[in-house]
Amino acid sequence: MTDRIILQNLPSQITASSSNQLASGFKRKEHDHINSKLKNLNSGDTAVSIEESAEEEDASEFPDGGVAWLVVLGSFLGLIPVFGLLNSIGSIQTYISSNQLSGISGSVTGWIFSIYLAIAGYGCVFSGTLFDRLGRTFPMLIGTILYSVGLFATAECTTVYQFILAFGVCVGLGTALNMTPLIGCVSHFFFKKRALATGIATIGGSVGGIFMPIMLRRLYVNVGYKWAIRILAFICTSCLVSSYLLTRERLPKDEEYKKLPFSKQLTTYFTSSLDFRALRDKRFLFCVLAILFSEMSLTTALTYLPEYALHQGINEDNAYLLVTLMNVVGIFGRFIPNIFADKYGRFNVMITTSVVATILCLVLWLPFGKNHAVFYAFCMGFSFFTSSIFSLTPVCLSQICKTNQFGARFSTMYFCVSFGNLVSVPIAGAIISKGKTNQYNHFVIYCSMVSVVGAICWLASRYYIVKTKIWCKV
C-alpha cells in the first residue's frame, strides 16, 4: 500500500527576479557539470554514487533547513488525509462489506478501493505537470475540494456504484491532485537532507493511519456510519486547508506556458504530462516496476489484513486496533530508514527493506499466521519495513531525475503503478473468495510473490545505476 503562505518571509529566495537568476544559474552549472562528468567518463572515471552522476544538481542552491521546515510541516499535515486514508481503507472496507454491501462478494466490493487506488495514481499525471508548470496552487486547491466533497458524499452511499463515484473517483482524484505537489514541494527545498525531510513529511500518513481506524471504530458505534465519515471529512478538510497555507514551491514557474492561448495550453499540457521516453532509461524503468510490485503487495495486504485477522479468530476490536498498531510502527518505518538512506544510500536502504519484508511474509506470515502472537509480530515487522515505500520512493526517483523533471517523472511512474493498483485488490478478493483457510493461504502467497518481484526490480534498478559495484552509496 503519496500536500500547503507563511514562507513569505523568504523574499530573497522566492521573488521573481531571484527565481530567474536561480533558473539561469541552474542551467549554467548543469552545463558545466555535465561537461566535466563527460570528460571523466571518457577518461575511464566511473561514478560510484548516484549523487555524483550527471543529474546531480548544485546542493548549495537548496535551503536544506531553516524556514523551509515550514514546507515540511505543511506537507506533513496534507499527507495525514492523503496517505492516512490510504493506510486506513481496510477499516472502511471491513465495515461496508459487513453492512451496506453485506450481500455482495469481495471481488465486487474490491473494485471500489482498487479504482480509488488506480485513480490516485492516474491523477498524478495531471497534478505532476501542473505542479511543474504552474506550481502547487491550482492542483492543491482543486484537489482539496474534490477530496472533501467526495468524502462527505461517501457518508451517504449505500450501493457499489455510489461508493465507486464518491470514494473511488472523487476522493481518488483529490488524493492524486494533492499528492505530487505535497511531495514535490519538499524536494524543492531540500537536497542533502531530502530523505530525512521527506520521511518526516510522510509520517503524516502514519499519523492519519493511527487515529483514523480507532476513531472510525468508535464513531461507528457511537454516532453511526454517516456521522463517522462526516467527522472524518471535517478533519481531513482542515488538514488540507492548513497544508495549502504552509506549502510553497521554490523553482520559477513556466511563465511562457501562461502566455499561450488556452487551446495551446491544453495541447502542451496533455502532450507533456507523461514522459514515456524516460522509460528508455533502465534505471527509471526498473524503479517504476519496483514501485509497482511493491505497492501492489503493500496495498493488497493493508486492505485485507483486518479481514484476515477476523478469520484467524481475532475479535473485531482487535482487528481494527491491528491497523492502528501497524501505523504506529509505520512512523518509525518512515523515519529511521530515511536517516540511514541519507548516510548509506537511498536505493541501498530501499532494497534492504524490500528484501526483509518479503522474508517476513514467507517465514512468519505464511507458515505461522494462525498463531496470534506470531501474526501480530509479523504485522509490526511488515509495517516497519514497508513504510519506506511511501517515504523513500519519491527520494529514489529524485536521484535519477532533475528537480524540474520531478513532476512529470512522478506522474509517469504512478500512471504505470496505477495499472497494478487497479487489479491487485480485485485479484486478492477473488483469491480469498469465500474466505476459507486455504484461500487465505493462497492470498498470503500472492502477496509474498508480488513482493519478491518488487525486490528483484529494486536490485535491477540499482544495477543499472552502478553496475556490479556493491560497496557504494546509491
- Residue 195 is predicted with a pLDDT of 80
Q: Is residue 44 within 8 Å of residue 67, measured between CB atoms?
A: no
Quick one: how far is CA 280 from the chain centroid?
23
- Residue 253 is predicted with a pLDDT of 63
- Residue 135 is predicted with a pLDDT of 80
Phi-psi category of residue 44: left, alpha or beta, with phi > 0 → left and psi -120 to 50 → alpha: left
Secondary structure (3-state) at 384: helix
All cell numbers assigned to 284: 527509471
Task: For 402-444, write each residue's pLDDT tens digit.
Answer: 877 776 787 788 788 888 878 888 899 889 887 888 999 999 9
Q: DSSP of 157-180, one letter per residue?
A: --SHHHHIIIIIIIIHHHHHHHHH
Averaged pLDDT, 71-99: 89
Q: Which residues, at least 6 apart from 8, have a Cβ–Cβ distance to it below 8 Å?
A: 14
Task: Enumerate helices (H) and strands (E) in the chain, giving the number of each.
Answer: 20, 0
Q: What sign results for the dihedral spanned by CA atoms 287, 291, 294, 296? A: negative
Averaged pLDDT, 206-214: 88
CB atoms within 10 A of CB 263: 8
C-alpha pair distances (Å), 271 with each of 129, 274, 398, 419: 10, 7, 22, 20
Among 9-13, 163-167, 184-188, 273-277, which is the least confidently predicted range?
9-13
Question: What phi, psi does 155 have (nearest 5°)?
Answer: -65, -25
**What is this structure's pTM?**
0.69
pLDDT band at 258 (very low <50, low <70, confident <90, very high): low
Q: Calculate what percentage of the chain has a pLDDT beyond 70.
A: 82
Q: Which domains does the chain have, with CATH numbers?
A: 60-252 (1.20.1250.20), 274-469 (1.20.1250.20)
Q: DSSP of 59-103, one letter per residue?
A: GGGS--SGGGHHHHHHHHHHHHHHHHHHHHHHHHHHHHHHTTTTT
pLDDT band at 4 (very low <50, low <70, confident <90, very high): very low
Averaged pLDDT, 464-470: 89
Phi-psi category of residue 135: left, alpha or beta, with phi > 0 → left and psi -120 to 50 → alpha: left
Q: DSSP of 195-236, one letter per residue?
A: HHHHHHHHHHHHHHHHHHHHHHHHHHHHTHHHHHHHHHHHHH
State the Cα–Cα distance between residues 188 and 194, nearest whole angstrom.
Answer: 9
C-alpha pair distances (Å), 372 with each of 147, 259, 273, 307, 316: 37, 62, 47, 14, 14
Q: Is residue 3 within 8 Å of residue 79, measured between CB atoms?
A: yes
Cβ-in-10-Å burial (0-12, 13-18, 19+) of 255 comes to: exposed
